[in-house]
Amino acid sequence: MSRIIFMNDRLVPEEQAVVSVFDHGLLYGDGVFEGLRSYSGKVFRIDAHLDRLYDSARAICLTIPLAKEAVAKAVNDTLAANGLADGYVRLVVTRGAGSLGLDPNKTKHPQVIVIADTISLYPREFYEQGLRIVTAATQRTHSAALSPRIKSLNYLNNIMAKLEGLQAGCVEALMLNHKGEVAECTGDNVFIVRGGRLLTPPPDAGILEGITRNAVLDLAVAAGIDCREATLVRHDLYTADECFLTGTAAEVIPVVEIDGRRIGSGVPGPVTKRLTDDFHALVRS
């Protein structure tokens, strides 16, 4: 069945959702994006996602040709057109078509694209039994070279680390920053539990501040769990009582083994389970 895609100012069948081969989003990864989730017909924290999208665009001098309200309507209209109450949305803004060469001033007509579909990032048994992950040799891009707060279309850094994980038989991989500190996984933020305290790397470790990450921090505070941002190294993860990842597509997923080291008891722990349940309740509320 053909999906319906929003392109710039209208909904079109996917066969008509095309961009120029001269679009700098294709040629150079020049653009920004967001991934959003809809639960029971309502997009989770859409305002936070749109704020981040527009901040990312502003940081690379890309003018989004629609107001936030219009983009929000496009997201909801695309979900409705595809009959999705529970779905995943990929919202993309490209630099637009131009001449060959890096100069963004030689482009025109930035493209606003909204794709809605279902998603199942990991099999159900991974949520029940936990993930095995490995540390990638590919480092997180130095934040002084490119701010991790820009959610750009160029994901090659993450893809190279993802390949390392897949080649090791794992669906996810841990990325370190240039100082050897824990940053994030290829598509998810990292949390650990030690001594009843919830810890996650701070923004200056080179992470994207995930919308789900921030929601889980809010839930932990509401549950009375001692939580804080802290610089972490692999030793902290190896010796943690629990570990889990968060992301828009992944939601909350436990990790039970890192680099061949069993984490805690080797099964999803009580804090992970509590926050998973609380997150599911939040998105359905």
Active-site residue (options: 42, 68, 73, 151): 151
> How much is the average pLDDT of 54-59?
98
What residues have CB less than 8 Å from 234, skipping those under 6 apart? 135, 174, 176, 182, 258, 259
Residue given tokens 């599911």 in the structure block: 280
Average pLDDT across the chain, whole number: 97
pLDDT by residue (tens digit) across 67-87?
A: 999 999 999 999 999 999 999
Sorting pLDDT into bands at 50, 70 and 90, what band is 1?
confident
- Helical H runs in the chain? 24-28, 46-59, 68-81, 124-129, 156-167, 211-222, 234-238, 270-284
Sorting pLDDT into bands at 50, 70 and 90, what band is 121?
confident
Residue given tokens 């692999």 in the structure block: 234
- Mind listing the domains of the chain with CATH numbers? 4-117 (3.30.470.10), 124-284 (3.20.10.10)
Confirm if 7 and 71 have CB atoms less than 8 A apart.
no
Q: How far apart are CA 18 and CA 69, in angstroms?
A: 24
pLDDT for res 13: 97
Confirm if 62 and 111 have CB atoms less than 8 A apart.
no
Q: How far apart are CA 56 and CA 42, in angstroms?
A: 24
> How much is the average pLDDT of 161-190?
98
- Tell me which residue of 147, 134, 137, 145 sits closest to 206, measured CA to CA: 147
Run of H or E residues at 83: none
pLDDT for res 134: 98
pLDDT at 91 over 80: yes
Sorting pLDDT into bands at 50, 70 and 90, what band is 119?
confident
Q: How far apart are CA 210 and CA 178, in angstroms?
A: 21
151 is catalytic: yes
Residue given tokens 């370190």 in the structure block: 176
> How much is the average pLDDT of 262-277?
98
Sorting pLDDT into bands at 50, 70 and 90, what band is 15?
very high
Give, in order, the Cα–Cα distances in Å from 67 to each of 9, 99, 151, 239, 280: 12, 27, 19, 47, 31
Residue given tokens 């480092």 in the structure block: 139
Residue given tokens 């240039």 in the structure block: 178
Q: How far apart are CA 5 and CA 116, in angstroms?
A: 7
Q: How far apart are CA 237 and CA 151, in angstroms?
A: 26
